[in-house]
Amino acid sequence: MNEPDVIVYAADWCSDCWRTKRFLGEHQVEYGWVDIEQNPEARAYVERVNNGKCIIPTIVFGDGSILVEPTNAELAAKFAVDADGGGNTSLP
């Protein structure tokens, strides 16, 4: 089984994580969800990529890029979709 191109490092208590999850679901983005409260290695990874700080959501993309606590507008720009739930905004 292949790993998804988008991995969301998050926690159940994090409202920004749930907002991100909702956004990805509304835009039909396939992603992996890693709960850092249940996975100490994932928590250590998040701290490492955030200069020792545990900041979530931390989203890692297949191209190696990372978004930390992104807004819906930042997510929309990354995926070339409408931030309010619309489809692809790129021209034909």
Residues ≥6 apart with Cβ < 8 Å to 49: 58, 60, 66
Residue 89: per-residue pLDDT: 43
Q: What is the pLDDT of residue 70?
A: 98
Place of tokens 């297949």: 62
What does the mean pLDDT of the chain come to? 90
**Residue 2: predicted pLDDT:** 63
Q: What is the pLDDT of residue 86?
A: 52
Q: Which of 27, 28, 48 lies closest to 9, judged by CA?
A: 48
pLDDT bin (cut points 50, 70, 90) of residue 73 is very high
Phi, psi dihedrals of residue 29, rounded to the nearest 5°:
-90, 125
The candidate with the shortest Cα–Cα distance to 19, out of 64, 55, 90, 70, is 70
Q: Quick one: average pLDDT of 4-18?
A: 96
CATH number for 6-79 (one of 3.40.50.300, 3.40.30.10, 1.10.10.10, 3.40.190.10): it is 3.40.30.10
